[in-house]
Structure 1
């Protein structure tokens, strides 16, 4: 495997993943400069996620039609231009529009970057390569808040966006030099009706859930938009079943490995999306930390995520997808449940120890579940699989924040008081139970599922040959 390929892709995806959360701690400073309230400025967070939801479905078709390498470089360029426009924005509409442009670039970077990896990596090396791409998705959201807090405190919030310019330029340069050229594939005309319906479906659900969980608009708007998104989803399903070449192919779910990856991954990702929302709040409101301190504590999970890169291939080859994913999901649920027992008296070293192990478990799970999705997919369906997987990921992450916010809102309504530490304990308990449900679809896998990618069956065969030789 050419290791520089996944490394280039990982750096670009880290930039996109971190940027989706980095402005969270800078919202008050940005809002003050733009002359609006912090809650109103949350529209900028929402506009970014809506852009992702709208343009991710079409990313696979564009990569096939125009070449994945070309689209990946254009995506970085669009992201960088959006970042610069964010830094120079002087009004709320300009800032929201710039964030939307950033989201357009990010929507292409993630699935197209994964597509480049799949098209240039041997299946036997896919676990190791996917481990590199899993790290940005886990480390980025953890890195964003402390980095945003540090830059805003000691420099200016403008540098949160300006720093993307040199990184993006280097990324385009490295991609031009080292990424293999992935030839365009003959594709049917774009499914325009499918693009409109899928865009309405994904953006409606993501926008609605975002408004419900981060109320920048009346909650009725969030509920109404979510309903519109669900109706559009039903209409898209009807359309896709009748179309010869739908934008998002529902036939992918006929593959057992892809179906299990989509269902189990979405369930676990909802829980994972809730934790970065709950943990900083609990540390700040329940433990009395400031945003920067809480960010430094939660960042320890990133170290746990990085360590899986060095052992993922060997572990999956030795045990196979079914066993490793079951253990990782169960252990991940247990570490989430442990958060329900932390108090201000709990030594911070103990808290960080659990967060470290949690990052380790989640990284193993997502490395495996993301690789499993492509383990038995036909090469001609890879681009559609990357688009479908990315859409499901965005929706499940948005749903995770909405679920966490709903639990806290319900707890305060029932108790009739402000948030307390016990409310967070209840939320973590519910989220842990939800993440444990991710194990159920995995149990439907056979020991041989995805063996050509994990190397598990090959390892077993070699052991049998060795045993026969020994007996003889």
Structure 2
């Protein structure tokens, strides 16, 4: 629960600032678009430093790194709240990213090391809820804070959470006596992966529903492709790679890293598109639209007690296939709603969508480490954390691309621009079929080591 709380704090901080952009721009006397760098700086720092977190855990110990990360993140939050200008805010956001990059992956590693295979499903269930709830709660929470308090309180709410986390962490996080036997840091791998990830994140962040600089995006993707290709060659040849690609030889982990990441990308696009649809198509206020999105959170919470029994009863493979198929139908249902749809019906659909999100995320997160040996756990955890962060960013970009393409299509057909949202969700539903295929390709007993399901 300590690590889950830290994870919640980190994800919430990454998403809630979006609702405060107008207030921050007014406070600093800059254009709203200029504040976007404060969001990008945090995500970029987080993405490029996560690959190093595994090495740091080995070199300095899980306990020391995790507790230091909480201190850095909390102190940087105070710095963000007290920032007198945009450049200072950006600098503090970078510092927050440093703390977040160490805090979450290393905390997850501590949980996995302290858990047996049979306890993985329950542990992962606790670690999954922040990724499901924080992006959903952020719009309503951010809107309320900015409306009734000040944008600076968005960062100050981290302070009591950080203090409590540090006090609890000092008591419950165990030491790591093997920390001194760390492998040397792969500097070349770090530079190559940093360039590749940075170019990719910057390119994705440049994609907008309107006014995307496609030339710059193309150049960024090209740089990312070249840097990633060179990094892969290096990581496969060096003796002590920053990211150990051999973990992909484990079938269950490989399926999670590919199909599971694709699932994460599709699901992350939903909280991005829904507030836009509610405000631009339905004409709802930001606060009302944010409150409606909370229906996803209600679905997450309502189904959470059943996720572990479902996997133990039917197996992870069956759960993933069924969840993917039902998600296709759910996307179709979201695509069918309109201005005249009763709000109760919209909320009901979102509750079901939230429940499916919870089941799918928990299933894939449990499958990821099912067949990973203890000595390879650090490498697998680092690789998985890096991929998760990247594909979460891909989800927002995918939502923007789907909306851009859909707008062009409906405009060309002479239909109302609001129909672009329906088409966007329909496209996401079609892509969800890939998840069903990925689930079918899994062995029937996939994840048996962590579900402890009887034959």
- For Structure 1 versus Structure 2, the TM-score category normalised by the shorter chain is over 0.9
Change (3 A) 1:158 1:381: same
Change (3 A) 1:418 1:396: farther
**Is the contact between residue 41 and residue 216 of structure 1 (CA under 8 Å) also seen in structure 2?**
no
| Residue 82, structure 1, aligned to residue 76, structure 2 | yes
| Residue 49, structure 1, aligned to residue 27, structure 2 | no
Residue from 348, 351, 354 that aligns with 1:356: 351
**Is the contact between residue 248 and residue 387 of structure 1 (CA under 8 Å) also seen in structure 2?**
yes
Q: How does 1:306-317 map to 2 (within 5 A)?
A: 306-317=301-312
Report the aligned-residue RMSD: 1.7
Q: How does 1:290-439 map to 2 (within 5 A)?
A: 290-414=285-409, 415=411, 420-439=417-436
Give the drift of 1:83: 1.1
Q: How does 1:25-40 map to 2 (within 5 A)?
A: 25-40=19-34
* Counterpart residue number, 1:445: 442
**Is the contact between residue 340 and residue 425 of structure 1 (CA under 8 Å) also seen in structure 2?**
yes
Q: Using the alignment, how far apart are the partners of 2:272 and 2:171 within structure 1?
A: 39
* Counterpart residue number, 1:469: none
Q: Using the alignment, how far apart are the partners of 2:301 and 2:101 within structure 1?
A: 24
SS at match of 1:288: coil
**Is the contact between residue 42 and residue 216 of structure 1 (CA under 8 Å) also seen in structure 2?**
no
Larger CA deviation: 361-370 vs 307-316:
307-316
* Counterpart residue number, 1:266: 261
Q: Using the alignment, how far apart are the partners of 2:116 and 2:260 within structure 1?
A: 23
**Is the contact between residue 325 and residue 442 of structure 1 (CA under 8 Å) also seen in structure 2?**
yes
* Counterpart residue number, 1:468: none
* Counterpart residue number, 1:206: 201
* Counterpart residue number, 1:466: none
Q: Using the alignment, how far apart are the partners of 1:371 and 1:356 within structure 2?
A: 23
SS at match of 2:315: helix
**Is the contact between residue 66 and residue 184 of structure 1 (CA under 8 Å) also seen in structure 2?**
no
TM-score, normalised relative to structure 2? 0.96
Give the drift of 1:214: 7.5
Change (3 A) 1:83 1:219: farther
Change (3 A) 1:102 1:81: same
* Counterpart residue number, 1:467: none
Q: Using the alignment, how far apart are the partners of 1:124 and 1:200 within structure 2?
A: 39
Q: Kindly tell me the number of residue pairs found equivalent between the two proteins.
A: 452
Residue from 144, 155, 162 that aligns with 1:150: 144
Q: Using the alignment, how far apart are the partners of 2:328 and 2:107 within structure 1?
A: 29
Q: Using the alignment, how far apart are the partners of 2:154 and 2:276 within structure 1?
A: 22
| Residue 63, structure 1, aligned to residue 61, structure 2 | no
Change (3 A) 1:444 1:289: same
Give the drift of 1:217: 8.5
SS at match of 2:240: coil
* Counterpart residue number, 1:465: none
Larger CA deviation: 386-395 vs 418-427:
418-427
Give the drift of 1:95: 1.4
* Counterpart residue number, 1:18: 12
Q: Using the alignment, how far apart are the partners of 1:112 and 1:200 within structure 2?
A: 23
Give the drift of 1:192: 0.5
Give the drift of 1:344: 1.0
Q: Using the alignment, how far apart are the partners of 1:99 and 1:283 within structure 2?
A: 30
